[in-house]
Amino acid sequence: MRILITNDDGIHAPGLEACEKIARELSDEVWIVAPESDQSGVSHSLSLNDPLRLREVADKHFAVKGTPTDCVIMGARHLMKDMPDLVLSGVNRGRNAAEDVTYSGTVAGAMEGTVLGIPSFSLSQAYAFSTRHTPYWNTAVKFAPDLIRRVLKTGMPRDVLVNVNFPDCPPDQVAGVSVVTQGKRDQELLRIDARHDGRGNPYYWIAFDRPLSPPGQGTDLEALAQNRISVTPLRLDLTDTPTLTRYAQALR
């Protein structure tokens, strides 16, 4: 099995090292193509107006001045002679649950693998404020290889990627694996934090507040709150069929 890895936190990310450990449990042929700098939150963006600079860091290790999506295309279509058998995107520093999925460069890396017809996983390690600087990478490293093996054995339909989040606890406190839906957070979590620079000019940061209500049942958020690993299959096709049917009738 030939594995391609990317990581939206960049070529120097500790989670990339964790992902390499995971991949080496599964195969001897591992290729790494990761962005030069942190691309968290870039989602599925593609560099169309700038050239992609490629830097060989070590054997089968490359850095690209681009997005995780650029990296997967560069790896699968250019660097690896034949297409990889598996794409692993992560391990992200921080969970990618609920609406995170739509912003995530990590999920997008797996999405791009799926677009190219390759079985793909996005892997994220949750952390809280207290473990912010030292996420439990060994939790992802311990549980990911077997989980990936079991999902691959069960089968992955074309156009479906698998989003996996590891809970914010050491490996011996993991309560199990939950196959769950993408959750939903309170809307008021996102806000603009206004500040002033040294010359009194305003500037802004997008800021997040803590979740207010308990997570929905059977969701990724609930699984992580219970120290369980969340596994969510995601479709590339975002069509909402019930609404499609309703509009089809209304707009006839």
Which positions lie near Mn ion, rule CB under 5 A? 8-9, 40, 92
Cα–Cα distances in angstroms (integers) from residue 83 to residues 48, 115, 116, in the given order: 22, 12, 9
Which residue is at the shortest CB distance from Mn ion? 40
Residue 92 vs 219, nearer CB to Mn ion: 92
Residue 103 vs 152, nearer CB to Mn ion: 103
Cβ 138 to Mn ion, closest distance in Å? 19
Locate the DSSP E strands across 21-174. Answer: 29-35, 54-58, 61-64, 86-93, 120-125, 160-166
Q: Which token pair is 42?
A: 């870039």
Residue 17 vs 29, nearer CB to Mn ion: 17
Cβ 41 to Mn ion, closest distance in Å? 7
Q: Counting Cβ atoms within 10 Å, is residue 227 exposed (0-12), middle (13-18) or buried (19+)? A: middle
Cα–Cα distances in angstroms (integers) from residue 124 to residues 89, 163, 167, 239, 251, in the given order: 9, 8, 9, 26, 42
The strand pairing partners of 234, in sequence order, are: 161
Residue 41 vs 171, nearer CB to Mn ion: 41
Please tell me whether the peptide bond between 91 and the residue prior to it is cis, using omega within 30 degrees of 0: yes
Cβ 9 to Mn ion, closest distance in Å? 4
Residue 114 vs 124, nearer CB to Mn ion: 124
Cβ 103 to Mn ion, closest distance in Å? 10
50: left (phi over 0), alpha (psi -120 to 50) or beta: beta
Locate the DSSP E strands across 45-170. Answer: 54-58, 61-64, 86-93, 120-125, 160-166
Residue 39 vs 114, nearer CB to Mn ion: 39
Cβ 203 to Mn ion, closest distance in Å? 23
Quote the Cα angle for 28-38-229, to 5°.
60
- Is 220 strand, coil or helix? helix
Cβ 135 to Mn ion, closest distance in Å? 11
Residue 43 vs 92, nearer CB to Mn ion: 92
Cβ 236 to Mn ion, closest distance in Å? 21
